[in-house]
Structure 1
């Protein structure tokens, strides 16, 4: 049996204010083509199908088109809910879906697998939706953390799999021990209650398909994260996008292969002076990329985003990152003004204050002197 393990589609997510739906549609169409090319039997989507609990209508359209496309490509589909999904909204139409598409969102049903047969017998797919401890205490009294909830769920899975016999696959959405976190995700983990789940909790199944981390991760031969199909933050740039192609034989796990997905628009962080970012030919290759521009000038630039987008139309973020630490003498603005002995020094005091210790450049001092002199002459002749 050939299984394609994917996760974290985050349908409806924006990227610095830009819709990702068109790019994601293209990537998911490529996934459908890969399923057909590799004669995949089952596609797993391990949670975070949507990016929010209340997705827009066009998000449902993309999901429907993709599920139908995967089924038409010859694969059965098993989908579970993640912490970004609303289990109720994702699962409400489960019984209405066409044969071969399974959406598993009920925590009470983790011990009831989707069983799919191949030439070597049955394979039991146990879908574990995101388990919110407060909501599963009625099922497993005493559960206080997600780690405890996953532990109880896997006990149920192992017991049922042992009774049924044959091979098994578990699907979960969590933060497992040993994983390298996705940048900027740790805060969401703490606020969402996703504590670390020990790897030993996943003992038993022939393969464990995990979701939640946006980069591919191999925790063991049989426990892996597939990551997201798109880059959703600059912290993810450079990380490959794709899915795991898992092969089971009569004895269990036989092979796992990484299958790359196309990257519609690469991400690049550029770090240089503002002038170099605007003019250096070395950056020409990034003019069609998503760009995060970090300019190192000592002082902030006027309208940096507008000016950078003239060269990089897809510049999505601009950061002022001075290359040297600014001088700080501890003086307040009032103290700086009191010590100014002339109009020119008053200008200097103002610039040092707003620039956090960085005063006027030599050219600016010349302009200040000329302006002050012109003003003095005009007042004298009035």
Structure 2
């Protein structure tokens, strides 16, 4: 059978105040085009459909239309909730999803059997999929309580609870002639975060070892980390990565979806298909004169300016580069204060403290200190 594995759409993402709504429409349209060309039997969306737990109506429309379009290609579609999604809200969409032939699992409920999904391809290949949405620490414990934990077991780590849950859910694995699949939204120890996942759920307390996956799984489709990568594990395990760079920390990632060919008696073969319809994210640096040579009209830019700080510098840069979403002084231009003793705050006036700040940033712009005095006096008088 053939699988299209994607994750971390983050629909609704706003980058430095700039909406990416149109980009998401183009990106997901390209994912659908790939599905039409590759003809997968199953599409797995491994979490983080949305960028926020309270998506707008426009974001909901984009996601539901994309899922419906993927289903119309003839593939069976399974999507799970990620840490950015509102699991109960995704579960509330299940009546719509079931009517559309789409399987949604937003959260882990009291009935573990709901996380076991079975199907059959048009050619008669049988498959079973364990679908594990993102679980926070407390919900991981609650999910494990289904299995009558002792007090000592209840106090074990997040990884222990996830391992126990997956072990229990995958008990049916092993039936001859059936393709065993698993999808989850979590962090694997040793995997590369890819520079952009900013949630606390990437810290080691939420990381699990790849050894939690059963050896007899034919493929494990992961979401949560945005860089496409293979994971060393007892079975074929992969992050598909995000189909677009979510922030400037991910500009080196290559957005893609994974196409997986697998059979009950053959090892999974995976290839990445690039997604090219989103704007690239690029970091450029230089003086104003050097920035005049930058020619990246189709990219969102982070600009590191090699100039002394001054009033109006940001505006000058954005006039040169209208697609500059972030403008900062190049850190290499900042004076080093290593080893210097910081001045004491006690007994010093706000003007003196502000003057120290300007000095530390190399800002000698005339009138800035006087303007601070005027603003401080105005605020103090109002108070």
**TM-score bucket (shorter structure):** 0.7 to 0.9
CA distance in 1 between partners of 2:8 and 2:42 (Å)? 17
Q: Aligned pairs, how many? A: 341
Unaligned runs of 5+ in 2: 146-153, 345-353, 367-383
My pick for the range that moved more, 147-156 or 352-361, is: 352-361
Deviation at 1:41, TM superposition (A): 1.2
CA RMSD in angstroms, aligned pairs only: 2.8
My pick for the range that moved more, 100-109 or 267-276, is: 100-109
* Residue 128 (structure 1) aligned to one of 132, 145, 151: 132
- Counterpart of 2:32? 32
- Counterpart of 2:208? 197
Q: After superposition, what is the alpha-carbon deviation per residue over 1:118-144, rounded to whole angstroms, capped at 9, x for unaligned?
A: 335311011101112312434323165
Q: Please tell me whether Structure 1 or Structure 2 has the larger radius of gyration of its CA atoms.
A: 1
Pair 1:353–1:6, CA change in 2 (3 A): closer
| 3-state SS of paired residue (2:226) | coil
Deviation at 1:40, TM superposition (A): 1.2
Are 2:324 and 1:315 equivalent residues in the alignment? yes
| Structure 2 contact 130–170 (Cα < 8 Å) conserved | no
CA distance in 1 between partners of 2:134 and 2:140 (Å)? 10
- Counterpart of 1:376? none
State how 1:181-330 maps to structure 2 within 5 Å: 181-185=193-197, 188-189=200-201, 195-203=206-214, 204-220=216-232, 222-277=236-291, 279=292, 281=293, 283-284=294-295, 286-297=296-307, 299-324=308-333, 326=335
- Counterpart of 1:371? none
Pair 1:354–1:137, CA change in 2 (3 A): closer
Deviation at 1:51, TM superposition (A): 1.3
Deviation at 1:251, TM superposition (A): 0.9
My pick for the range that moved more, 234-243 or 324-333, is: 324-333
| Structure 2 contact 81–90 (Cα < 8 Å) conserved | yes
Deviation at 1:214, TM superposition (A): 0.8
CA distance in 2 between partners of 1:230 and 1:321 (Å)? 26
| Structure 1 contact 246–255 (Cα < 8 Å) conserved | yes
Deviation at 1:253, TM superposition (A): 3.2
| 3-state SS of paired residue (2:360) | coil
Pair 1:187–1:40, CA change in 2 (3 A): closer
- Counterpart of 1:5? 5
CA distance in 2 between partners of 1:225 and 1:138 (Å)? 26
| 3-state SS of paired residue (2:326) | strand
My pick for the range that moved more, 206-215 or 131-140, is: 131-140
Pair 1:331–1:172, CA change in 2 (3 A): closer
| 3-state SS of paired residue (2:173) | helix
Scaled by the length of structure 2, the TM-score of the pair is 0.81
| Structure 2 contact 2–260 (Cα < 8 Å) conserved | yes
- Counterpart of 1:77? 77
- Counterpart of 2:375? none
Deviation at 1:302, TM superposition (A): 2.3
| 3-state SS of paired residue (1:183) | coil
CA distance in 2 between partners of 1:319 and 1:252 (Å)? 52
My pick for the range that moved more, 139-148 or 239-248, is: 139-148
| 3-state SS of paired residue (1:214) | coil
| Structure 1 contact 234–267 (Cα < 8 Å) conserved | yes
Pair 1:115–1:322, CA change in 2 (3 A): closer
Pair 1:312–1:137, CA change in 2 (3 A): same
Pair 1:157–1:320, CA change in 2 (3 A): same
CA distance in 1 between partners of 2:34 and 2:316 (Å)? 41
